[in-house]
Homo-oligomer: A and B are copies of this chain.
Amino acid sequence: MRIGELSRRTGVSIPTIKFYVREGLLPAGELTSPNQASYGETHEQRLRLIRALLDVGGLSVAAVREVILAIDDPDRSVHKLLGTVASGLVPRYDREPNAGMEDARKQVAALIAARGWRVQPGNPASEALAVALAAVDEAGHGSFAGVLEAYADAAERVARADLGWVAHNLAREELVESVVVGTVIGDAIFSALRRMAQTDTSDRMYGQAT
């Protein structure tokens, strides 16, 4: 199909499609004449993935590029890809090491040990957790760490569902893409469900029917 048709089907404007091609997010169309390129199903599919990562996942264009490179790399095993996704999609904070961070890292290490999780210390997700715990503590709400056990239980439940879903997607390309989609959009889905469940719980504890 021509670029105009691709734009109509996906709701992405022609200049934006061209921008994605220039930025390396989307492969160029096949040239059918010096001025005209033809796009196929794979372009359409990839374009929807890009939009989902940008709009729902809230990723930057640079982060989307990294993810796409990982998807397209045939040498990346599923477990390694998961690692790339975990590192690439965890927000990084520039924080100077301080006493709070040291305590938070110890707290995280203790949690990993208690759970028997096979997670390296200093892994980006562990660092992100330490940063969040240090921030809660600095804001004067260190007691929030009391929910960690319940959160970790819930995270295990979610991760089992995530991996179980991934295991059902047999073709490698789909499998790899599904890890990324599940990781990024899964956060948005869980966050929405958590707020809904909070509203329900709050209503039962404090409210009348809203």
Chain A residues close to B by CB (< 8 Å): 11, 45, 48-49, 51-52, 55-56, 58, 77-79, 82-83, 86, 89-91, 93, 96, 112, 115, 117-120, 123-126, 128-129, 131-133, 135-136, 138-141, 143-144, 146-148, 150-165, 167-169, 177-178, 181-183, 185-207, 209-210
CB-defined contacts of A160 to chain B, threshold 8 Å: 150, 201
Q: Do the beta carbons of B177 and A141 come within 8 Å of each other?
A: yes
A90, A154, A160 — most chain B CB neighbours (10 Å): A154
Inside 8 A of A199's CB, which chain B residues have their CB?
A: 82-83, 86, 117-119, 123, 125
Docked complex Cα distance between A79 and B162 (Å): 32
Known A-B contacts A118-B209, A157-B150, A202-B163; the reply to A186 vs B194 at CB < 8 A is yes
Whether A202 contacts B82 by the Cβ 8 Å rule is: yes
**Bound: A126/B188 CA distance, A:** 11
Q: How far is the CA of A22 from the CA of B8 in the complex (A)?
A: 45
Known A119-B199, A152-B197; 10 more pairs at CB < 8 Å:
A86-B195, A129-B192, A132-B188, A144-B181, A144-B182, A147-B162, A147-B186, A150-B157, A156-B201, A163-B198
By Cβ-Cβ distance, the 10 closest A-B pairs, closest first, are A150-B161, A159-B197, A154-B154, A125-B195, A129-B192, A155-B193, A79-B207, A147-B161, A117-B200, A56-B135
Given contacts A135-B51, A152-B193, A192-B125, are A144 and B165 in contact (CB under 8 A)?
yes
